[in-house]
Amino acid sequence: MYVTVKGGEQAIDAAHAWLAEERRGDVSVPELSVAQIAEQLGRAVDRAMSEGSLYDRDLAALAIKQSQGDLIEAAFLLRAYRTTLPRFAHSLPIDTASMRAERRISAIYKDLPGGQILGPTYDYTHRLLDFTLAAGGTPPPVASAEPDGEALPRVPDILGQEGLLEPDEGSDATPGDLTREPLLFPAPRDVRLQALARGDEGFLLALGYSTQRGYGGTHPFAGEIRMGEVSVEIEPAELGFAIDIGDIVVTECQMVNQFKGSKTVPAQFTRGYGLVFGFSERKAMAMALVDRAMRAGELGEDVTAPAQDIEFVLYHSDNIEATGFTEHLKLPHYVDFQSELQNVRRMRRAAE
């Protein structure tokens, strides 16, 4: 006799209880606090905020704790939370020219106004496991100095003075918002940039890399990368002037790309732009490469490579969508599989 399986409900409860126990791990080891994660796993927090589209270090740290450090899961938790939040106001565009930069480098000038600022980078660390970290302890004190207050003009603005770089067309139009409206084509650059800023770091990294290997070459130079704090301002209609509501840390990358010109446009340099929450140079650079690659069509270049295919990039850059659909294959599909089984059996009978 066969008895159908029941008990999905108990199974789910049991799974959740087991997960909670696993998450905590060995209780003789002190529990991680959200503050520890926010302070000491900063790059993970940055990534969860960026892909979760929500700038809140404490919530991101909580999400990382809840997800056992699975950063896509953490970003998912943040996304699901942010959709329920009411919108009080829209910020004015942030002004990265007045960033309190902790890092600012340009690969296309030896020196420039404001100077090169190396900042807290892994770039020149030798990748040797540091066993003193395993032992714990406080790092030696760092020499500090007052900011010299020197302005840090953006490299594209310097290049632009000579007319060598395509102008950055300003716009007062309300930017699109993928979190409220479906993606439709042709997708304007504001929507594309939003998708990239929320996009999966690994996906953008691979796509950006592919452009460097000849799949839609963009001849990039890292015009400038800067990371640091910028002010967020809103302008309430009843006030009529902007007020500062706080600071966020962002990484901005301006790629400068060779462009030979076309029938209508003279030879000049073109832009690829990357901007992400937190310290995430890798993603900002990859984003700038992919942004420029996706502009191939509008600049009259051949669209041949994956990174240049706007529809392909935008439909596959979101890791919350991608992970959901990839992982949904583990849900039961036995009804469809059964229909395929019967189908294959029928076709084999017909062939015999």
Partner 1 sequence: MTEGYNFAYLDEQTKRMIRRALLKAVAIPGHQVPFGSREMPLPYGWGTGGIQVTASVLGPDDVLKVIDQGADDTTNAVSIRRFFAKTAGVATTTHTAEATVIQTRHRIPEKALRDDQIIVYQVPQPEPLFRLESSRVETRRMHGLADYGLMHVKLYEDVARFGQISIAYDYPVMVNGRYLMSPSPIPAFDNPKMDRMPALQLFGAGREKRIYAIPPWTDVRSLDFDDHPFRAINALEPCGLCGATDAYLDEVVTDDKGGRLFVCSDTDHCAERRDAGHVGKDGVP
Least spacing, CB of residue 80 vs partner 1, in Å: 4
Least spacing, CB of residue 214 vs partner 1, in Å: 23
Given the complex with partner 1, which of 57 and 79 has the nearer CB atom?
79
Identify any residues that bridge with 253 across adjacent strands, giving them in sequence order.
Answer: 225, 274
Given the complex with partner 1, which of 53 and 251 has the nearer CB atom?
53
Given the complex with partner 1, which of 48 and 99 has the nearer CB atom?
48
Least spacing, CB of residue 75 vs partner 1, in Å: 10
| Residue showing tokens 């997960």 | 19
DSSP 249-283: EEEEEEEEE-----SSS-S-BEEEEEEEESS-HHH
Given the complex with partner 1, which of 155 and 187 has the nearer CB atom?
187
- Cα gap 54→149, rounded to integer Å: 30
**Can you give the length of the chain in residues?**
352
Residues that bind partner 1 (CB under 8 A): 1-2, 4-9, 11-12, 76, 79-80, 82-84, 86, 179-186, 311, 315, 320-321, 323-328, 331-336, 338-343, 346-347, 350
- Cα gap 228→247, rounded to integer Å: 10
- Cα gap 259→337, rounded to integer Å: 52
Least spacing, CB of residue 16 vs partner 1, in Å: 11
Q: What angle do CA 178, 182, 187 make, to 5 degrees?
A: 75
Least spacing, CB of residue 349 vs partner 1, in Å: 10
Cβ-proximal residues to 122 (8 Å cutoff; 6+ apart), any chain: none
Given the complex with partner 1, which of 157 and 311 has the nearer CB atom?
311
Least spacing, CB of residue 228 vs partner 1, in Å: 29
Cβ-proximal residues to 215 (8 Å cutoff; 6+ apart), any chain: 304, 305, 306, 307
Given the complex with partner 1, which of 120 and 175 has the nearer CB atom?
175
**β-pairing verdict for 220-234 and 243-257:** antiparallel
- Closest listed residue to residue 59, CA positions, set 78, 41, 80, 73: 78
